[in-house]
Amino acid sequence: MTLPRMAELVLALDPDAQISGPGFSLVIDDIPVLIVTDVRANRMRAMVPIRSAHTMTPEQMQRVMQANFDSALDARYAVAQGQFWGVYLHPFKELERDQFISGVAQTVNVAKSYGSLYSSGAGQFGGGDSGDLQRELIERLLEQGQEI
């Protein structure tokens, strides 16, 4: 991955995305997404704010930790500076197009499913309908980035 390549991908996902140096802000399904890169440290992070962490109950924290183990997959729930986030982390240089797009979509999905399924949508254990519905966002974003 390079910063110009990531900019191409971000703009394919949201033509109105904002690019500021090594960072990007975009909106997917009405969810704000922040992407921060550090090329020298070989890291990137996609983040979606979910809620204040200050008012989360121990039961809510327990549930998101369980989700981090089995249903959030490549995205994760995290707490920083009093905010509760959905995040996706990956080494920058090694990041491939499909990994990036899937990671962003999974991060949006963990935000959208907070309080219900707590899932990235990339995989579900069980036989319900939710997996197919959540997987739809990943497939749609991969299709948008297909021509790049």
Those residues whose C-beta lies under 8 Å from the C-beta of residue 132, and which sit 6 or more positions away, are none
pLDDT recorded at residue 66: 81
Q: Is the pLDDT of residue 129 over 60?
A: no
Domain count, the chain: 1
| Integer Cα distance of 148 and 43 in angstroms | 22
Q: Which domain holds residue 84?
A: 3-144
Average pLDDT of 113-142? 71
- On whether the pTM is more than 0.75, the answer is yes
* Token pair for 17: 């995305």
pLDDT tens digits along 37-58: 999 999 999 999 999 999 999 9
Beta bridge partners of residue 28, listed in sequence order: 31
The CATH number assigned to the domain holding 107 equals: 3.30.1460.10
